[in-house]
Structure formats: structure tokens, C-alpha cells
Amino acid sequence: MDASEPDNAVMRAGHGVYFRHVVPWIGGLLSDGDAYAYLPRSMAYLPPPIEMIAMLRDAGFPDAERHQLSGGITQLLVGTRA
């Protein structure tokens, strides 16, 4: 399971504001602000979902699939090793 950007444009816009600004602000108030500021930046390194699924299939998980949860703000990548 990992964070994700929703496919829906409206959800993606709202999530972008929340995840890039609100989450780091609240995290800074309650805990280590640097860790919560890093979280949105770390998503920039994730390949697009179609590439992640292809990478999993190439790594021996032929039935790999992606399930979006919570409107697409999280994703669950599942597969069975062949």
C-alpha cells in the first residue's frame, strides 16, 4: 500500500492541495515537520501506475494489479509470485 494521486481530476486537485500543504503543516504541528514535508516530495519519484504494474509483472508477479482506495489517494498493488 502506498500513497497515490487520484485519477479523477477534481479529486487530484483537492488531494494536491491537501497532501502538499495541509498534511505537512499539520505534521509539523504534531510531530517532525521535515518528515511530513518529505512525504509529498517522495511521491514524485514513483513511476506512473501502469509502469509500476509492468515492473511487478516483469519481476514475476504476472497477475499484478492496482486497486485505488479512498477515492484514489492510496493504492494497493497486489500480485501472486509465479
- % pLDDT > 90, the chain: 65
Q: pTM (2 decimals)?
A: 0.75
**Tally of residues, the chain:** 82
Ranges of H-type helices in 1-82: 9-17, 23-30, 33-43, 49-58
Helix, strand, or coil here: 63?
coil
- What is the helix (H) or strand (E) element at residue 78, kind and residue range? strand 74-78
Low-confidence ranges of the chain (pLDDT < 70): none
Residue 55, all three cell numbers: 515492473
How many folded domains does the chain comprise?
Answer: 1
